Amino acid sequence: MRPLLPPPPLSSPDYSLPLSNLASRILYPNPLPSSSTQHALYILNSAAFPDARETSYDDLVPYVLARLPAEDDLLAGHQYEILFFAKASADDAGKPSKKRRPGWQWCVQTYQLLSRILRKRLSRLWIVGAESWVRMLVEGVMVISGGKGRKKVVFLRSVRDLEGWGVRVSELCVPCGVWVAEKRRRKKRRGSAGGEEGANGKGKRAFGVREPLPRVLREATSFLLMDECVKTEGIFRVNAKAVMVEVLQELYDQGQQFIVWRERDTVLCFPFWRDGTGDVGMDELKEKDGYDVHSAAGLIKLWYKELREPIFPQSCYQALGKFYGDANLQLEPHQLVEMLRPDAEWTILTTTARRILRIHLLPLLSRVVDMEEWNHMAAYGLAVCFAPALLRGPDIEEDMKMMGIARRLLDAMIRHWKEHLAPVFETDHQNFETELRLPEVVAGREDPLEEVGDSISPSEAQMSGITLIDNDGSASDTAQEDGSEGEDEAPPLPQRPAPLPPLPPRPRTFLDSEAARPSLPPRVRSSTIAAIPCTGDPTSSLTTNGVDHPVKRKPAPTVQPLPRYSMVVGTSSSLHHQQPHATLEHIPFYNSVEQPVEEPLDLDPDPELPMYEALPESSSSPSANRAAIPRKPVPVKGEKGG
């Protein structure tokens, strides 16, 4: 490594502007000093480290170290701190980059190149999100250099751990890659633990309707309406990265002061930057160090989607379908004026919804439509993009049916806003931009934290009041007896009804049927009766508690046996003349259902029963009277067949 030399002056031809811009992204001062010690705070962003194969670190080091405090200030007694984001080596998508870093020998030599006053006046080195190899590298550098600086190094797991050391995170200018990396790491950690990942501080500040507009709408809308941003093709149609929008929602809810908006060469600076003791080179930041225009558009749509009471609540669905359900209905400007007027006698929109549409949504979308030549977004296209964010009911199918009506209403409002609606409400584009500006006083820029009662919408409060107030006036009578007004006290909660008795067990035996209950004594319960065994006797009885109870059974159907015939022996002629005569009277049968046959039946004829008539005896056998049948002789072996 070459000896450390200061960078050439800005007017020198050897001055490298790309290296200077790269150094400003790697190391830059925080706008506000450290809240714990009031020392100057410098942020070291590892995500901005270039690839060692593309950039020479030996040439880059002088430009980076030149951004540290000057030695004259340090000799006067000033101290400084460095906040190193070691886990910020990620792009705007939160994926780890595959860059070749310099070796540990280069790090040791760079630390030794620092002057004695720079190492002595360094009061604290914060290292956030360091892996094991980074810790080993830092400790090795401290040991090699003397080991006196090990007490100044503090390793932290996340940015929020700085709060435990008295450092207010809301006053830090943290790169967006750090927040995205922490968001993904938190999701992965909670997902492996089986829990759900939730947004920190969701709904605390940003996502509420306040007077004037909340800070999230002021900053995102101001950046979106800048000349280079509003001409972006596909604005509100191209989806932003979900993780970027979630990070922005958390930052605004937590009151993060310094949020960088940048789209190409357009950077938005807010009054927060002018109140700090440091100076951040905003023009030197690249696109990945800020949030783009699609993230601002996605954040605005998310704000409308997360409203506790949507623009079109479920209570107005019936009126929407009745008055505006016809697809061929042409909405006139006077109808839209009556719908948006704050003093309208009757309208389907709530007072809050009408105010939001007048002061923010319609002026914003009308301005976007004015740049349709560049962004290719017409009124109907914007209505298609925003309609899903304005409906949120319990039934998704019902929301889908109402979405077409809301799309037509929003399309008509956007088309008629500039010429017919805005003059009625005495507003224009200049007044709209004026309303978006943040107050000059720092205390009035941040939204206040919401109270407990703010989390309940007016419709929910009204329904809860109707449910809890006793109609017989008992609550007001009690309040009058105590000497207090009934309006200031909350109505009493209704008593919880007593639990119902358990159901009796389901009957499982024959005795639980209606046919068997009359024959049982009243004290005999079905739960104490055992199952009746299946026996062959239809008149069997059951003994319960020493009492015999006859059991009625339906007799099984009788099965008649087949007639039994004797062997008939005689000539063929006698068979035609002798007809069998038999009777089946007095023949006992056996019930195969009630009494199965266990022994083989005796097939011998009963002597008492009449049988067939006896055939006359023949002197010769049946085969003797039979005519001879001519047969072909059997051939003998060895003879040829004729």
pTM score, two decimals?
0.67
Token digits of residue 363: 């002026």
On the question of pLDDT at 573 being above 90, the answer is: no
Report angle CA 347, 353, 359 to the nearest 5 degrees: 115
pLDDT at 310: 92
Burial of 390 (0-12, 13-18, 19+ CB in 10 A): buried
Rounded mean pLDDT, 317-340: 92
> What confidence tier does 557 reach under pLDDT thresholds 50, 70, 90?
confident
Rounded mean pLDDT, 231-253: 93
Where in 236-292 does DSSP place strands (E)? 261-263, 266-268
pLDDT at 570: 45
pLDDT-wise least confident of 102-116, 206-220, 460-474? 460-474
pLDDT at 197: 46
Rounded mean pLDDT, 481-498: 51
Phi, psi angles (nearest 5°) of residue 165: -100, 10
pLDDT at 2: 56
pLDDT at 581: 45
Phi-psi region of 465 (alpha: psi -120 to 50; beta: other; left: phi over 0): alpha
SS3 380: helix
On the question of pLDDT at 530 being above 70, the answer is: no
pLDDT at 1: 52
Cis peptide before 555 (omega within 30 of 0): no
C-alpha to C-alpha distance for 219 and 299, rounded to whole angstroms: 11
What is the rounded end-to-end Cα distance, in angstroms, of the chain?
A: 124
Question: Among 60-64, 91-95, 294-298, which range has the highest average pLDDT?
Answer: 294-298
Burial of 282 (0-12, 13-18, 19+ CB in 10 A): middle
Phi, psi angles (nearest 5°) of residue 541: -120, 165
Identify residue 595 by its one-letter amino acid code.
Q
On the question of pLDDT at 224 being above 90, the answer is: yes
Token digits of residue 49: 């480290």
> What confidence tier does 408 reach under pLDDT thresholds 50, 70, 90?
very high
Average pLDDT taken over every residue of the chain: 74
Q: Which long-range contacts (CB under 8 A, 24 or more apart) does 60-63 make?
A: 60/19, 60/22, 60/23, 61/4, 61/110, 61/113, 62/4, 62/5, 62/6, 62/7, 63/7, 63/16, 63/19, 63/20, 63/22, 63/23
Query: What is the 3-state composition of the chain as percent helix, strand, coil, each rounded to the nearest 5?
Result: 40, 5, 50
pLDDT at 337: 94
pLDDT at 541: 52
Tell which wins on pLDDT, 603 or 402. 402
On the question of pLDDT at 71 being above 90, the answer is: no
Residues facing 549 on adjacent strands: 542
pLDDT-wise least confident of 254-263, 351-360, 361-370, 583-592? 583-592
Identify residue 89 by its one-letter amino acid code.
S
Tell which wins on pLDDT, 242 or 545. 242
pLDDT at 107: 73
Tell which wins on pLDDT, 110 or 261. 261
C-alpha to C-alpha distance for 198 and 204, rounded to whole angstroms: 13
Burial of 261 (0-12, 13-18, 19+ CB in 10 A): buried
Phi, psi angles (nearest 5°) of residue 130: -80, 140
pLDDT at 268: 82
Rounded mean pLDDT, 512-527: 47
On the question of pLDDT at 35 being above 80, the answer is: yes
pLDDT at 636: 67
> What confidence tier does 234 reach under pLDDT thresholds 50, 70, 90?
very high
C-alpha to C-alpha distance for 75 and 272, rounded to whole angstroms: 30
pLDDT at 370: 95
On the question of pLDDT at 599 being above 90, the answer is: no
C-alpha to C-alpha distance for 521 and 547, rounded to whole angstroms: 9
> What confidence tier does 538 reach under pLDDT thresholds 50, 70, 90?
very low
pLDDT at 332: 92
Tell which wins on pLDDT, 27 or 546. 27
> What confidence tier does 391 reach under pLDDT thresholds 50, 70, 90?
very high
Rounded mean pLDDT, 531-548: 50
CB-CB contact of 428 with 422 (8 Å)? yes
174-187 as b/e: b if 16+ CB within 10 A: bbbbbbbbbbbbbe
> What confidence tier does 336 reach under pLDDT thresholds 50, 70, 90?
very high
Tell which wins on pLDDT, 604 or 590. 604
Query: Which residue matches tokens 């996605």?
Result: 298
> What confidence tier does 238 reach under pLDDT thresholds 50, 70, 90?
very high
DSSP state of 161: G
Query: How far is residue 8 from each of residues 3, 25, 53, 66, 121, measured CA to CA in Å?
Result: 15, 19, 24, 11, 25
**Of residues 336, 457, 296, 463, the one with CA closest to residue 392:** 457
pLDDT digits (tens, 9 = 90+) for 432-448: 988 888 777 766 777 77
On the question of pLDDT at 410 being above 80, the answer is: yes
Identify residue 591 by its one-letter amino acid code.
N
